[in-house]
Amino acid sequence: MDVEEIARRHLADGVPDDEIVRLLSREIISIKRNRVTPEYAEAFARAVVTEVRNSTGLSGDLFTYEPSGSTMGEFGVGSRGAGDFFAHRQIARIIGRPAVAVGVEEMDDAGAVSAVGDYIVVTVDGMHSRLSDFPFLAGFHVTRATLRDVYVMGAKPVALLSDIHVADDGDVAKIFDYTAGVTAVGEAMGVPLVTGSTLRIGGDMVLGSRMTGCVGAVGVSRHLTARKEIEPGDILLMTEGAGGGTIATAAIYSGFPDVVEETINLHFLRACEALLASDALSGIHAMTDVTNGGLRGDAYEMAETANCRIVVIEDELRSLVRPKVLAMLDALEIDYLGVSLDALLVVAPPENAAEIRRVVESAGVTIKEIGYAEEGAPESVLSVGGEIRDFSPRFRESAYTPVKKVVDEDKMDFEEMKAGVRRAADAAIAKKERMLARLRSS
């Protein structure tokens, strides 16, 4: 609960200070219970109102921003669908086009810069927001995810970093359990956790026990397997997938806790290790993990980045989802093609497929051919029994919890929202330019 946000909204509505203090005091006591007195709650609430009043109505570049008119939830940011992809392309516009080997505008799994003949690959992943009450799972899955993003760029991970934030009333043990999840994966793969940060969410202003954070990774490579290297004529190979944070969340909140066990593995990482240690790596054009809105989202992003048509053939796809996971998704009517499966997707010339499959299978991981790239407009399509169907990402990834199914019903005018988001990004770019001019002239 964000007490600053509550106070700010009430003040904007013209609610008298004393009434806001009364409302806030009640909420503070409901969260902190017997750990605070009514006197403390009232004093805290009055201080909040004072701070909010002092920080309201400020003007100028340093204190204001151009609103988009859409909230994060309404626009689907973080929900790995069309809205999320559009927002990330606006971020890429704000960053611009720095002189790098792989930049954010390519929407790849990680970025890369050249350094003394090698490529330094850097990436970061946020923990799954619904795993706040399950810190070990949160740490485990976010670490596995960030390592995947380094591996699929053809890089060897060399270091991890962690950033963890817990709200004011969260137990300190959460950061320990989370760190245990991070280092369990890191140590198993021989990648050390070398630095990080630990803070409270919103400092004193956010009550409750919510946890959020991220894990970043750094890797080194001599051969990049970025999406832009995909060529017409390449084939798509995909490994089996059991899911990670998304599948674990779906299982926990939909009453299938036994399915979580399926997600505790290192199959993806070990398949990548085998490829990096083999000559097969040089025959791979691109790799990615099936996460961003599922195969629907990743195929779409690949087609956009490589400027070609991606055809996905469904014939073998269901067999690549672990049976227990697939049974849960079917029971919950969740589209398995629109949810993160954490499978490895490899794109390579057809003549290299046999060796790639041999190496991956030597690591004990199943891999099959599931499609191809061809000349054509940058789009992704699905072939079902020879019939071509649309395979573009939906506004959000498949609704995989009861709450998400409700949220997914809230439809708004996407084109209208995009215009507001684009306008806000334009304003941010203009502000950046003003600040750069100021900094360069000082």
On whether the CB atoms of residues 223 and 366 are closer than 8 A, the answer is no
On whether the CB atoms of residues 135 and 211 are closer than 8 A, the answer is yes
Q: Residue 433 and residue 421: Cα distance in Å, rounded?
A: 19
Tell me the torsion sign for CA atoms 32, 38, 44, 49. Answer: positive
Residue found under tokens 């559009």: 86
The pLDDT value given to residue 397: 67
In which residue ranges of the chain is pLDDT below 50?
Answer: none
Return phi, psi of residue 171, to 5°: -70, 140
Nearest Cα neighbor of 219 from 112, 352, 103 is 112
Reduce the DSSP state of residue 235 to 3 states and report it.
strand
Nearest Cα neighbor of 196 from 206, 208, 183 is 183
The 8-class DSSP code of residue 128 comes to: P
Q: Residue 292 and residue 141: Cα distance in Å, rounded?
A: 15
The pLDDT value given to residue 82: 78
Exposed/middle/buried for residue 144 (C-beta within 10 Å: 0-12, 13-18, 19+): buried
For residue range 374-403, what is the model confidence (pLDDT) as tens digits?
999 999 999 999 999 989 877 666 777 888
What's the full length of the chain, in residues? Answer: 442
Give Dmax over CA atoms of the chain in angstroms. 75
DSSP assignment string, 284-324 = --EEEETTTTHHHHHHHHHHHHHTSEEEEEGGGTGGGB-HH
Nearest Cα neighbor of 60 from 381, 438, 376, 359 is 438
Cβ–Cβ contacts within 10 Å for residue 253, how many? 15
Q: Residue 146 and residue 157: Cα distance in Å, rounded?
A: 10
Question: What are the CA-CA distances from residue 279 to residues 58, 351, 352 (Å)?
Answer: 60, 14, 11
Nearest Cα neighbor of 391 from 301, 306, 316 is 301
Q: Residue 191 and residue 260: Cα distance in Å, rounded?
A: 24
Paired residues of 126 in beta bridges: 214
The beta-strand segments (E) located in 186-225 are 193-200, 211-221
Question: Which tokens is 354 given?
Answer: 């046999």
Nearest Cα neighbor of 163 from 185, 143, 133, 184 is 143
